[in-house]
A and B are shown apart, each in its own frame.
Chain A
Amino acid sequence: MADVVAAPEALRVVGRAVPRHDARDKAVAATAYAADWALPGMLHAAVLRSPYPSARIVKLDTARAAAMPGVAVVLTARDVPRNTLATDVPGQTATVGPLRATLHVLAEDRVRHQGEPVALVAAETLELARAAVEAIDVAYERTPGVFTPEAALAPGAPQVHAAGNLLAQWRIARGDVAAALAGAAVVVEGEYTTQLVDAAYLEPESGVAWIDSDGVITIRVSTQVIEHFRDVAEVLRVPQNRVRVIGTYLGGGFGGKEDVTVEVYLGLLALKTGRPVKMVWTRQESLLARAKRHPYRMRYRTGATAAGEILGQQIELLGDAGAYAYLSALVLLYSTVTAAGPYRVPSVEVQARVAYTNNPPTSAMRGFGGMQTVFAYESQMDRVARALGMDAVEIRRINALRRGDRLPVGQVIETHVALPELCERVWAALEPPTPPRAPHVRVGLGLACNLQPYGRIVWLHDWSSAWVGFEMDGSLVVRCGVPDVGGGQASSLCQIAAEVLGVSLERVSVHIADSALTPLAGTTTASRQLYMSGNAVLKASRELREQLLRVAETMLGAEAATLAMTGDLVHAPDGRTLALPDLLRECARAGVPRGHLAVYNAPAGEPVDLATGSGKVFPDYTYGAHAAEVEVDTETGVVRVLRYAAAHDVGRAINPQSVEGQIQGGAVQGLGYGCMEEVLVEDGINLTTSFATYLIPTAADVPDVEPVIVESGEGLGPFNARGIGEPPIGPPAAAVANAIADATGARLTRLPITAERVARALGRLDGTN
């Protein structure tokens, strides 16, 4: 049955591929990133980090370091007013998540992962700070560690934390899986392994803090979450209104700047010294110390009818949280909810666990647990199709979710699911196939789909706020506390306000990401910012419009409902116009505010019992389909992605150019994940702490990504947009694996799909070790 989709409204600014205001500033390097900031008398800070993954600190003497000339202060755990940092629920929401996750700001008696912070130094120069770090007299006694989740959960394993190594588990049981698999014409079984990866944004963690003239501790920092001002205040034991975080335009975030990075250290050092302090992590430090994406081991059993209908799926997930909880419980929840993919699966059982180890901690990263599972469920889908001799698009068409269906967790799908169209579009985009260029080369095509939640879990009661107002000359100001990670977050807000208030885009200014001066908007994470803050700006703009038109009504002698705002004018039905400055002067005279603050509350819900499949977890989902054409060198195992197309139903593209950018950038990150990226850790020691060893794709490693934007007009964001920040990173690894299977018959189940692994799968290394 055809699903009816809303007709688009006529729009002027929204939906146009306008170049972003911030792009121009960045193209001339006018943008001051967090590290591009210097204040008179500024100190430079450095961190002493543990070289060991598991050890007791038996000695920590800072006297010699503190006595060095030019060293302002050396801090250890004893010097931190409250040495505990909550890491589970970032952002402004008061409602607490499923568990209190905490860590020490500086290690007390134990370190649990390599790179764990032990002491802080601030000195007159960076060289001095680093020298002082080296001069700290620290001794460790190594203790046994655990380095895989399996080992961590085995009886008798060394315990990373007193409460045990099992950090969290979720379970879904829907229908009768055993019966479904028993009755299936085909059952496909697979085990999939995904690796530890890093966000690897180009801009390392950085910031500058100072105590402003009003005594407020002010931290200008590269962060996705300005609400961390509260965490800083907690640690410093100062009132929350005495800490201000100014978020800079980020040099990339991808979830890696969602947890606290430098801000607490900077707050501490500024408070202790009373001087401005700068901290910039080196790349090595960033790769060593930042939380990463969870590696997973996933076991899937999928049963289908001879016609290709999926009957049941039994799923086991095991993730590695590393040494601290951070957001692991929530990441695992995302995996659990999305584990069966964007398909109708009547019987599903999911057992998901995440364990502590002495590996680098893992937390948020673009896709947030909704990503690892794509590799598994889309590989399974491909195997089922191959087992049945079915076409890749056809099997997905048969099984795709439709409005009204339920996810395994019980959530009813309330919006249109464009999966079949997305599949057909990307498949068609890769026609005709490329002929192999040499006898040792095979070419194949792979398809992979996904669903990714946008917006936060409904029981977190998410909200955002924004202020929109006119200056007397008719120029418009938007204030909203969103951090801009580079995805055009700020610029989209301008488009929305310009659309509603009929102002030309050049006349809109936006102030973002200042916890003291901009209304709080929540985190730029979870693909929520356009959805949440876009809605807040939309609401503020609409309410402001009403407010102003009530004044215009009397000035023009025409009913407000008949007035239009476009081209920086108010238009009456009879053709008369009113210039904005005239209207605004009248507002000032009449005491009508020229600005308006609005709060947008996302649809909220109560925590669900996953096991019984009782209901709504996320506001909504974004769906995608990607297709890859790959060439496999069957002698060396080298895989080249020749062509790539990626389609997402974004509901409505507020700025198609930004949407394309998200799709292309996400797809290439996904290809990096699929084909080359891996944080290699051996017994807790990170072997890839440089950009020469932690490899991300270059321009020469990837093809053009052809973005396919589908606008169903169905989404919960402004003008029916859906979130598109995270979704495109999901499908590429599976699309490549499926394409390799198509080309060669070899099934790669472990990421990254390196040339050596392909060569092994092709039997090229048989008889050797």
Chain B
Amino acid sequence: MIARMVLNGRSRQVDVRPEHTLLETLRDTLGIFDVKEGCGEGVCGACTVLLDGRPVSSCLVLAPAVRGRAVTTLRGLERDGGLHPLQEAFVRHGAVQCGFCTPGMLLTALAFLEREPRPDREAIRAALEGNLCRCTGYTKIVDAVEAYARDRGHG
């Protein structure tokens, strides 16, 4: 079936299968590989996308259910080909190791900072608790989010 959705700001008609998840549609049908699969059951956060601005597990969303809605993947953050300042903060603070969790972490952090612009470290940790990272131990991810929130506050 054909579903119209807004994908990273552009309206698109997508041929979806009812029994496909949004994750499968993005990766296998559309070749959008910036969404990762880590568990397929809503636990790890590697498949995070924003649905109308809020984070969801794309592995737990049926593809036809997103018709008429806005889906944002990491690529949707691009700014004139440059890095989003939160992406820059991740690079600068060493918050990226293997990088497999990074797209989901970035999207979750951004959606969180929209609602809570000046969080403390504990609040950042709580907000990211649904995004697993096996490499960094989280400290540098929290550093990056904290620094971005602070710098943005001044800028």
Contacts and interface: CB of A to CB of B under 8 A. Distances in A.
Direct contact of A and B (CB under 8 A): yes
Interface of A: 17, 19-20, 22-29, 31-33, 35-36, 38, 126, 200-204, 249-252, 254, 280, 282-284, 485-488, 657-658, 660-661, 664-669, 690-692, 696, 698-702, 704-705
A700 B43 CA distance: 14
Nearest to B101: A202
Contacts of B78: 28
B142 A698 contact: no
A660 B94 contact: yes
A692 B38 contact: no
Contacts of B148: none
A24 B83 CA distance: 9
B62 to A, nearest CB: 15
Contact of A691 (B28, B41, B101): B41
B11 interface: no
Interface in B114-134: 121, 124-126, 128-134
Given A29-B33, A488-B97, A202 B136 contact: no
A301 B108 CA distance: 50
A447 B73 CA distance: 43
Contacts of A485: 98
Q: Is the interface of B mostly helix, strand, loop or mixed?
A: loop
Given A203-B100, A486-B98, A698 B139 contact: no
B155 interface: no
A23 B95 CA distance: 8
Contacts of A701: 129
A29 B74 contact: yes
B16 to A, nearest CB: 14
Interface string B40-76: 1101101000000000000000000000000001110
B99 interface: yes
A664 B126 contact: no
16 contacts: A20-B91, A24-B83, A27-B87, A27-B90, A29-B34, A29-B103, A202-B38, A251-B36, A251-B100, A252-B134, A283-B44, A487-B135, A661-B140, A669-B134, A698-B128, A699-B138
B152 interface: no
Contact of A29 (B38, B102, B131): B102
A27 B105 CA distance: 10
B138 A668 contact: yes
B153 interface: no
B142 A27 contact: no
Contact of B98 (A38, A250, A699): A250
Contacts of A486: 97-100, 135
B135 A665 contact: yes
B31 A38 contact: yes
A24 B101 CA distance: 14
Contacts of B22: none
A691 B99 contact: no
Contacts of B111: none
